[in-house]
Amino acid sequence: MQRERRSTRRTSKQLKPSCWRRGLLQSLRSHGQKELKVEFAPIDLSDTFLPQTVSVAYVDVRAFAHATEDLDKVLAAVRNVMPQELACTVVFKETALTGHHGNPITLFEARIKSRNMAQAFLEKLASEMNMIDKEQLNSEILQHLERGNLYLRLNKQSSFRGKVKLGSTDPIHVRIHFKKPRAEDVISICRQIGLLP
């Protein structure tokens, strides 16, 4: 005689209460209460940190090394403006160029395609740039924006020493391409991240 096998699977309504709930119910019953009423208070999430969506599509970085410069030091300067995990893995394209007077110039280029790394790159710039440079960038921001791109020039010598500073003479060129092309959106994102005051 075979017994019919019944399914031991329970729906959510049939699940037994957990140990703590059983203990609570027994405790309440022993004190004369028959029902357990639970009320949930609303939670305000407006001030809680929620992960930001990635707003940067990619970042292009370029730097020129002149004949009088040490190539390794130029690369070290460029890597210093990047987050640590990116600096260790980024691969630079190296192009040999010739200057006006026949002098050799080496161009180093890299595109950061990972959106998370690109976002981390922007956040590192924002966290390490001093307030004077942020205010200068803020005052001339429209000159640095074009079709969803933010163009920055960073001082190569300062970068080699581990400091992020704006610079115009023989700089490290950075182009940050945002997913939103409008200037207002880019400025708003830069303010949220802290690149602009």
% of the chain exceeding 90 in pLDDT: 67
> What residues contact 141, with CB distance under 8 A and at least 6 apart?
187, 190, 196
Coil, helix or strand for 15?
coil
Does some domain include residue 167? Answer: yes
Does some domain include residue 137? Answer: yes
Q: What is the pLDDT of residues 49-104, one digit of tens each?
A: 333 567 899 999 999 999 999 999 999 999 999 999 999 999 999 999 998 888 99
Does some domain include residue 178? Answer: yes
Residue 100 is predicted with a pLDDT of 84
The number of domains in the chain is 1
Does some domain include residue 44? Answer: no
Does some domain include residue 41? Answer: no
Does some domain include residue 144? Answer: yes
Cα–Cα dist 70/20, whole Å: 68
Q: What is the CATH number of the domain that holds 87?
A: 3.30.1440.10
Residue 171 lies in domain: 56-193
Tell me the mean pLDDT in the region 120-127: 95
Cα-trace Rg, the chain: 29
In this structure, are residues 134 and 195 in contact, taking their beta carbons and an 8 Å threshold?
A: yes
The answer to pTM > 0.75 is no
